[in-house]
C-alpha cells in the first residue's frame, strides 16, 4: 500500500489520538495566531501614524542633553549656530525632497488692521501691538503651499531673484487682505519698532522705529486643519486659534527680516560699545531649517547621516518622534505579543514533540512490520510527517480565526485599561511639524483583522513549528531495529 494512503488511513482509523493531537495544536495555535495578530496590528498602527505625522525633520539644540550637563560642563561648552552652508549641505542629501530655512519676527502697523476671528464668545483679538508674524523664506515656491498648509488663492509666489535680493514683496492671507481692502499689486506699511523697558512707567517704550513697506504679490488661503475641525468639534477651538495666527502671517524673503534684526541691534548698540564690538564679529543670521523627506522610512537613515555633521549639542528632530511619546499602549502590547509568540512556539515544539513521540512508541510494532517488509525508512518517516501535518493543517486553520478573535478581545481589554490612565497630549512646536496627535488617535488606528500577510505569516510559522516538533521524535523511527521489535 502506498505510504501516503497509509498516512491518511492512520489519521482516520486512530480518531482518538488524532483528536488529541488536533486539540493540542489548536490550543497552542490560538496563542501563536493571537500573538501574530497583535504584532501585525501594532506594526500597522506605527506605520499609519508615522505616515500621518509626515516626513518632516529639523535640526535644533538637544535640550535633554543640555539639561543633563553639569554646571561646569555648561560653562565650558561652546555653542555654535547652524550656518547656512551646513543647512544647505544637509538639504542636498538624497533623502530630502525639498527644504527651507526661516527667520521670523513680529511687527505692528499703524495703518493695517489684523484679522479678527469670530467665535461663539465674540471676536478673538490680539491684545498686543505687534500682531503680524513675518515668516522669512528661502524656498521661493513657499514650502507651506507645497505641503498643503496653505493654498495660493490669487497672485503668484516669489521668484529666486526676489529671495536673493530681499525684495520688498509679501504674500498675505486672503482674509487679511479683504479686511484691509488690499489686492495683488497694492502696498502696505508695517512698523519695525525697537522697544526698551522703562523703570519709570514700568512698561516697554518705543525708542526708535522705521517703516517697512511691502508689495502684495500673492494671497493665500489656509488649508490644513479644516477637515479635522469639521470632523472633531472638540478640536475646533484649537483650530480657530491656529487659523487666527496663520491668517495674520505674512511670507517675505529672509533678507527682509534680517535687515530689521540688524536695525534693532544697531539701535541697542548705539549706547553699548561692548554690544557694538560683538555685532562686528557675529552675524545676526539665526535660521531654523525644515526638511521634508521623500517618505517616512527615510527619517532613520537621514538622522544617521546628519548626526556626524552637526555641532556639539545639536540633534535631528523629526515629526515621527512624537509617536514614541504617545505609543505606550501599543508598545506594551507589542512587547507582550513578542513574549507570547516566543513562549507559544517553544511550548508547541516541546508539547507537540512529546505527544508525537508517545504516539510513535505505541505504534512501535506497526512501524517495525513496515520496516521488516522492506519499506524504506524515508517512506515511513514521510508517512508520519503526512499524518501530523494533515492534522496540523486542520488545527492551524481553525486557530487562524479563533486566535484572531481572541487577539481582538485581549487588545480591547488592554486598551480599556489604558483609558483609565491620564491622557498625554503630544505636540511639537517646530515650524512645519505641528500636530494634534493624541493617545486616542493611536488607539483608533489599532485594528486586528484578517489579511493575506497575516494568513501567510501564521501558516508559515505554524507549519514550520509543527515540522520542527515532529522531526525530533522521528529520530526514534530511524533508530528502530525491526528484528528486535518482532522477536
Instruction: Report the Cα–Cα distance between both ends of the chain, in Å, rounded.
Output: 24
Number of domains in the chain: 2
CA atoms within 13 A on the CB side of 33: 26
**Which of 321, 338, 354 is the last residue before a domain boundary?**
321
CA-nearest of 357, 348, 383, 344 to 472 is 357
Let me know whether 62 and 11 are in one domain.
no
For residue 336, give its domain range. 3-52+327-486
- 342 versus 434: which is more confidently predicted? 342
Of 44-58, 75-89, 144-158, 402-416, the range with the highest mean pLDDT is: 144-158
Query: Mean pLDDT throughout 126-137?
Result: 82
Question: Given this model, what pLDDT does residue 103 score?
Answer: 92
Of 16-20, 106-110, 347-351, 367-371, the range with the highest mean pLDDT is: 106-110
- 149 versus 216: which is more confidently predicted? 216
Beta carbons of 259 and 134 less than 8 angstroms apart: no
Residue 451 DSSP code = -
pLDDT of 487 > 60? The answer is no
Instruction: Give residue 360's Cα distance to chain centre.
Output: 52
Question: Given this model, what pLDDT does residue 418 score?
Answer: 55
Listed range (87-91, 284-288, 445-449) with the worst mean pLDDT = 445-449
State the Cα–Cα distance between residues 285 and 271, nearest whole angstrom: 22
| Beta bridge pairs of residue 135 | 104, 251
Let me know whether 173 and 291 are in one domain.
yes
Let me know whether 172 and 126 are in one domain.
yes
Residues with Cβ < 8 Å from 214, sequence gap 6 or more?
168, 169, 170, 187, 188, 189, 190, 250, 252, 256
Q: Which residue has 535640526 as its cell numbers?
A: 59
Let me know whether 128 and 214 are in one domain.
yes
Question: Given this model, what pLDDT does residue 213 score?
Answer: 96
Question: Given this model, what pLDDT does residue 232 score?
Answer: 44
State the Cα–Cα distance between residues 56 and 54, nearest whole angstrom: 6
Cell matching residue 124: 478673538
Let me know whether 313 and 442 are in one domain.
no
Cell matching residue 446: 489599532
Let me know whether 37 and 118 are in one domain.
no
State the Cα–Cα distance between residues 226 and 243, nearest whole angstrom: 9
pLDDT of 331 > 50? The answer is yes
DSSP 345-378: HHHHHHHHHHHHHHHHHHTHHHHHHHHHTT--HH
pLDDT of 220 > 70? The answer is yes
| Share above pLDDT 90 across residues of the chain, in percent, rounded to a whole number | 28
Let me know whether 183 and 245 are in one domain.
yes
Let me know whether 175 and 284 are in one domain.
yes
At 467, is the pLDDT very low, low, confident or very high (cuts 50, 70, 90)? confident
Question: Given this model, what pLDDT does residue 309 score?
Answer: 92
Residue ranges of alpha helices (H) inside 150-204 are 160-165, 174-179
Residue 177 DSSP code = H
pLDDT of 81 > 70? The answer is yes
Tens digit of each residue's pLDDT (9 = 90 or more) over 239-263: 445 677 889 999 999 999 999 999 9
pLDDT of 305 > 90? The answer is yes
Residues with Cβ < 8 Å from 119, sequence gap 6 or more?
237, 240
**Which of 295, 321, 347 is the last residue before a domain boundary?**
321
Let me know whether 246 and 369 are in one domain.
no
State the Cα–Cα distance between residues 332 and 407, nearest whole angstrom: 14
Instruction: Give residue 364's Cα distance to chain centre.
Output: 58
- 343 versus 337: which is more confidently predicted? 343
Tens digit of each residue's pLDDT (9 = 90 or more) over 21-49: 888 888 888 888 888 888 777 777 777 77
At 437, is the pLDDT very low, low, confident or very high (cuts 50, 70, 90)? low
Query: Mean pLDDT throughout 358-387?
Result: 74
pTM, two decimal places: 0.70
| Share above pLDDT 70 across residues of the chain, in percent, rounded to a whole number | 77
Let me know whether 60 and 203 are in one domain.
yes
pLDDT of 229 > 50? The answer is no
- 117 versus 311: which is more confidently predicted? 311
Q: Tell me the average pLDDT of the chain.
A: 80
Query: Mean pLDDT throughout 383-408?
Result: 83
Query: Mean pLDDT throughout 168-176?
Result: 96
Question: Given this model, what pLDDT does residue 329 score?
Answer: 64
Report the run of H or E that residue 17 belongs to, with start and end.
Answer: helix 15-53
Could you tell me how many residues make up the chain? Answer: 487
Question: Given this model, what pLDDT does residue 480 score?
Answer: 59
Of 105-109, 214-218, 313-317, 432-436, the range with the highest mean pLDDT is: 214-218
Beta carbons of 380 and 371 less than 8 angstroms apart: yes
Question: Given this model, what pLDDT does residue 3 score?
Answer: 66
Let me know whether 73 and 127 are in one domain.
yes
Residues with Cβ < 8 Å from 284, sequence gap 6 or more?
258, 261, 262, 265
**Which of 296, 321, 346 is the last residue before a domain boundary?**
321
Beta carbons of 393 and 18 less than 8 angstroms apart: no
pLDDT of 207 > 80? The answer is yes
Beta carbons of 181 and 254 less than 8 angstroms apart: no
Let me know whether 91 and 35 are in one domain.
no
Classify the phi-psi angles of 439: left when phi > 0, otherwise alpha if psi is within -120 to 50, otherwise beta: alpha
Question: Largest alpha-carbon pair distance within the chain?
Answer: 117
At 100, is the pLDDT very low, low, confident or very high (cuts 50, 70, 90)? very high
Question: Given this model, what pLDDT does residue 441 score?
Answer: 64
Amino acid at each position: 500500500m502506498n505510504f501516503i494512503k497509509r498516512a491518511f488511513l492512520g489519521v482516520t482509523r486512530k480518531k482518538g489520538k488524532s483528536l488529541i493531537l488536533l486539540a493540542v495544536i489548536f490550543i497552542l495555535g490560538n496563542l501563536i495566531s493571537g500573538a501574530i495578530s497583535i504584532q501585525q496590528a501594532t506594526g500597522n498602527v506605527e506605520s499609519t501614524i508615522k505616515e500621518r505625522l509626515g516626513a518632516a525633520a529639523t535640526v535644533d539644540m538637544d535640550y535633554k542633553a543640555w539639561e543633563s550637563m553639569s554646571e561646569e560642563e555648561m560653562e565650558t561648552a561652546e555653542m555654535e549656530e547652524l550656518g547656512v552652508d551646513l543647512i544647505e549641505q544637509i538639504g542636498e542629501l538624497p533623502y530630502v525632497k525639498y527644504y527651507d530655512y526661516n527667520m521670523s519676527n513680529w511687527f505692528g502697523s499703524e495703518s493695517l488692521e489684523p484679522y479678527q476671528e469670530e467665535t461663539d464668545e465674540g471676536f478673538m483679538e490680539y491684545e498686543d501691538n505687534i500682531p503680524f508674524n513675518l515668516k522669512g523664506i528661502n524656498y521661493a515656491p513657499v514650502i507651506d503651499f507645497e505641503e498643503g498648509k496653505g493654498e495660493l488663492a490669487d497672485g503668484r509666489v516669489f521668484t529666486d531673484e526676489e529671495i536673493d535680493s530681499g525684495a520688498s514683496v509679501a504674500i498675505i492671507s486672503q482674509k487679511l487682505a479683504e479686511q484691509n481692502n488690499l489686492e495683488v499689486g497694492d502696498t502696505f506699511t508695517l512698523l519695525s519698532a525697537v522697544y526698551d523697558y522703562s523703570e519709570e512707567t514700568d512698561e516697554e517704550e518705543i525708542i526708535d522705529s522705521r517703516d517697512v513697506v511691502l508689495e502684495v504679490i500673492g494671497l493665500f488661503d489656509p488649508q490644513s486643519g479644516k477637515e479635522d475641525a469639521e470632523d472633531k468639534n472638540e478640536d475646533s477651538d484649537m483650530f480657530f486659534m491656529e487659523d487666527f495666527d496663520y491668517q495674520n502671517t505674512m511670507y517675505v524673503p529672509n533678507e527682509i527680516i534680517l535687515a530689521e534684526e540688524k536695525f534693532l541691534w544697531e539701535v541697542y548698540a548705539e549706547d553699548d560699545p561692548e554690544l557694538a564690538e560683538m555685532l562686528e564679529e557675529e552675524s545676526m543670521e539665526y535660521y531654523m531649517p525644515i526638511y521634508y523627506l521623500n517618505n517616512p522610512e527615510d527619517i532613520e537613515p537621514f538622522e544617521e547621516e546628519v548626526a556626524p555633521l552637526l555641532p556639539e549639542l545639536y540633534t535631528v528632530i523629526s515629526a515621527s518622534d512624537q509617536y514614541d511619546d504617545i505609543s505606550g499602549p501599543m508598545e506594551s502590547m507589542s512587547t507582550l505579543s513578542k513574549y507570547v509568540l516566543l513562549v507559544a512556539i517553544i511550548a508547541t515544539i516541546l508539547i507537540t514533540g512529546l505527544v508525537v513521540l508517545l504516539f510513535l512508541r505505541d505504534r512501535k510494532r506497526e512501524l517495525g512490520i513496515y520496516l521488516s517488509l522492506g519499506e524504506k525508512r524515508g517512506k515511513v518517516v514521510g508517512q508520519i510527517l503526512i499524518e501530523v501535518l494533515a492534522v496540523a493543517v486542520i488545527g492551524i486553520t481553525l486557530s487562524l480565526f479563533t486566535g484572531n478573535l481572541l487577539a481582538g478581545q485581549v487588545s480591547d481589554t488592554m486598551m480599556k485599561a489604558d483609558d483609565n490612565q491620564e491622557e498625554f497630549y503630544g505636540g511639537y512646536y517646530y515650524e512645519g511639524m505641528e500636530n494634534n496627535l493624541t493617545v486616542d488617535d493611536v488607539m483608533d488606528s489599532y485594528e486586528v483583522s484578517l489579511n493575506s500577510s497575516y494568513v501567510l505569516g501564521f501558516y508559515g510559522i505554524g507549519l514550520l513549528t509543527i515540522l520542527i516538533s515532529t522531526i525530533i521524535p522521528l529520530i526514534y523511527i530511524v533508530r528502530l531495529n525491526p528484528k528486535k521489535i518482532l522477536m
